Amino acid sequence: MNRVRALEQAEMRASTLVRLATVSVLLCVVFTYAMATTQSRILSDAFPVISETFVGKPQSSVSEFILGWASLVLFGMSWTIKTYLERYASRDASWRRWARRTTWFGYAAAVALALTATINYDESFRAHITAAFGFLFNMVIWLALVIHQLRRHPN
């Protein structure tokens, strides 16, 4: 009974979500790179493009699952940070609207990461790269807007 109460009272911190997403992506890269090198899948002699490691049978499934999981965690993190900004970094309604609008870039980054995982490098190079850069640009914009709001409201 005490365990149930402890779980009900436990809070998910944004830092926990960040760590979970980072570890998920890191594990994905390490596992798929290890599998790709054992199958001689790496096309370049130098450090490979990460997308090269995601093709092939076992690593494709691993990358789809782990990056899909990371995108789900990123979606949750975006929502958690939006809630934090609305409650603690908003003096008025205009800043709460700012937080809600900012969150859409985080959601778009999560969707683009999921698309990057599901569209294989060999299936459609153009779609895979478009999704990857969509993820990158949406993440940068989202983080810049969140940092801007936090700097404007240091309390």
- Can you tell me whether residue 119 is helix, strand or coil? coil
For position 116, what pLDDT does the model report?
A: 84
DSSP code, position 11: -
Q: How confident is the model at residue 137 (pLDDT cuts 50, 70, 90)?
A: very high
Place of tokens 């890191």: 26
Asked whether the beta carbons of 24 and 70 are under 8 A apart, the reply is yes
For position 6, what pLDDT does the model report?
A: 54
Question: What CA–CA distance (Å, rounded) separates 41 from 33?
Answer: 9
42 against 115, higher pLDDT: 115
Asked whether the beta carbons of 121 and 53 are under 8 A apart, the reply is no
Q: How confident is the model at residue 106 (pLDDT cuts 50, 70, 90)?
A: very high
pTM of the model: 0.70
Q: How confident is the model at residue 112 (pLDDT cuts 50, 70, 90)?
A: very high
* 5 pLDDT more than 50: yes
18 against 46, higher pLDDT: 18
Closest by alpha carbon to 23, among 76, 70, 81?
Answer: 70
Q: Extract the tokens encoding 62.
A: 């691993």
Mean per-residue pLDDT of the chain: 77
In 38-142, DSSP assigns E strands to none
| Interval 90-107 mean pLDDT | 89
For position 31, what pLDDT does the model report?
A: 75
* 89 pLDDT more than 70: yes
